[in-house]
Structure 1
Amino acid sequence: MTKTSSFSAPKGVPDYVPPGSAEFVAVRDGLLNAARLAGYGHIELPIFEDTELFARGVGESTDVVSKEMFTFSDRSERSVTLRPEGTAGVMRAVIEHGLDRGQLPVKLSYAGPFFRYERPQKGRYRQLQQVGVEAIGVDDPALDAEVIAVADAGFRSLGLTGFRLEITSLGDDTCRPQYRERLQEFLFGLDLDAETRRRAEINPLRVLDDKRPEIREMTDDAPLMLDHLSESAKNHFDRVLGHLDGLGVRYVLNPRMVRGLDYYTKTTFEFVHDGLGAQSGIGGGGRYDGLMAELGGQALSGIGFGLGVDRTVLALAAEGVGVGDPARCEVFGVPLGDAAKQRMVVLAGELRAAGISVDLVYGERGVKGAMKAADRSGARYTLILGDRDLTEQTIGLKDMRTGDQRQIPLAEIVTTLSGRP
């Protein structure tokens, strides 16, 4: 009778196990590599931070802060929160370590788990995996375009094609206050429920993001930020679009876009994949010109994105695109006998030192069982070593794709495998 564990992963927290985990790693690393190619250095952030950092940085009117954060008291009765997003933590680190006092822009990338208490469903998890970048300290439309192009290039490097970039501008301090008043005047003229009216008082833009059909119908004629941009904000946005055109990054204007975080200003964008159903967003971001000052730092601008690794994996599956090599190793060793195993262990160390991934058959198995293990490993080559081979100082090298097998001098096997594809 098979014994099963009484434990399982927490609800809404996916496991990634071999061989499928190879795709997860390939997606994460592919998105990160696109950032590295643009000069973004790595930053490693704490999993939890002071709750006030997210309340001030993300915005108390957002669903993230008001409904979705994992918040608890530590043993010193301090309120801490599992990070729901990356930008606020990056800004805190930049201020704390004085990175904003050096060369600007500060360009950083990061990856890891983030946490939101949501109703779990396909593509919406309580522990979500993201890759993010932040470019801090320079307000330049060309930098906005670079950040967007890095995300676009990351998706395309994985073979993803069926997505679209939606983009808008949320204006700046020269036009947002007037637009806020105009939008509130419109919203307060509607028959809104108490909670929605409260949201309209705190952050009226969030009402335009309401997914309820009745609210969307009532706000069909709401004034839009793109129609009320100041001359400077419009010029900034036009230049961003011009740079994207020059880079060949395709986009669609979406004047009703409202991101789920309060700190966004000016350029705001989202990557959408319709193959995912309701959870169609695979990444997004924007400019946040007042965030650093809000968190106690200099009044420096910034722009960044967060791309969903989980969502990208699902998007690739929707397109039938596979990435990542599920093979555990390039070479699999099959020693036949104790003396052969002793020599194979040493040989495996030599091959690994040469940069070749190697696994061995362990335990007492016959030739048939050992070769089955070699097949399951996914290795391109199998090394077979027996007592006779040791006497002759040779080793069997089998190409697992073609089935060809030949004897190679033991002294040459590392060099032979190092030069193979």
Structure 2
Amino acid sequence: MRFAPIKAIFYSEFHPIQGPVVVYSVPEGSVVSGRPNETHKDDIVIFEHVSEYVIPKPALCNRLVSLTATSSRTIIGHPVSIEDAKYERNAFLFNLVFVFDSNDKTQPYEQVVRKMSRILRSLELESGLLSNKDTKPKVFSIMDQLLQDLNTYSNAESISVEFASPINLKLFQSRAPPATVHDWQVPVQVYHLARIVDRLWDMTILRVIPFINGALSVKRISEIADVELGLVRLSIQHLLYYGCVKLVDIFQYSNIYTLKSNNMLTLLENEDLQYEMLAFVRKDEHNISTLFTLLSSLKPGLTVKEWCEEHDVRSLNIDIRRLFVFGVLNNFLYRVHKYPVTSSTTVGSPTSMDLKKLSRFLDGKHHFDGLYCH
């Protein structure tokens, strides 16, 4: 995975007489005071234009600050304020700022910026690295190695700092938050988790994994594994976040499925996907044309049970559940849900109490799978 390149890094401090100043920049000249060269003016950050956000007022200190510095440059920093009577004005303010192209995605660097802020703060508190004029030049060599290593390798390993632990950094691709996991959903393993599981993993996840078989719902896994339902949801959500599982609906013969015609064309053209499907669903030898014919016969309103009877699917010795799971996971089948709506209030009936419990779900917004788990 390629990350956006860092265009520059600069280190700034608050000077007790001059105010905010740029102490070091890599490459040199990437951040200037005054007017930049007209030829490259959009690529150069004019420090006076951004200084109030680089060395800001206390309200913005010790938090991530990002802004557009020029039409082509974005800067990200984490200004630090250390209060101590040993400093002039009783405080030391500094910021290590990263510069990027304004069109690049910078989110993967946010943790790096935060971590470098913490590291430099610790170095200053422990040894006065930043405020001591004899040791301050070490900051420049750290910046230079950071720029080269992160741009070349997406990590920076063992950057040595005198009298301190080496600096180790790594970029990670940011992920979108995982979707909400519902009790009626069925987790399906994307990878063979038993082969990669580690005894140091979370104990709840270790307890849940053996029951993730593509057939049991989240609620059923909770019951069989004897794990609190909320913890099972969190475990599945964690595995979902890292792409270890995907979620499908509970498979029942009363389910209705429909083809996504455009995506079915992808299956027709992708031989690797075809072989994958055959390996996943067949119990005996079958050719792909048999499965194409069966899938093409799916019609709106036709339940799986009716479809099986109409085409005598059981005689073909195909794993029917796995066929539909594969279709949903690869996005050429989708489940058609039914959403019950109450038509009238039942009074005096033996089922009136049950209806009263269910009434809040009979609003056309909750499908039958959801009701199954209530």
Smaller-chain TM-score bracket: under 0.3
TM-score (norm 1): 0.22
TM-score (norm 2): 0.24
Greater gyration radius: 2
Structure with the bigger RCO (C-alpha within 8 Å, sep 6+) is 1
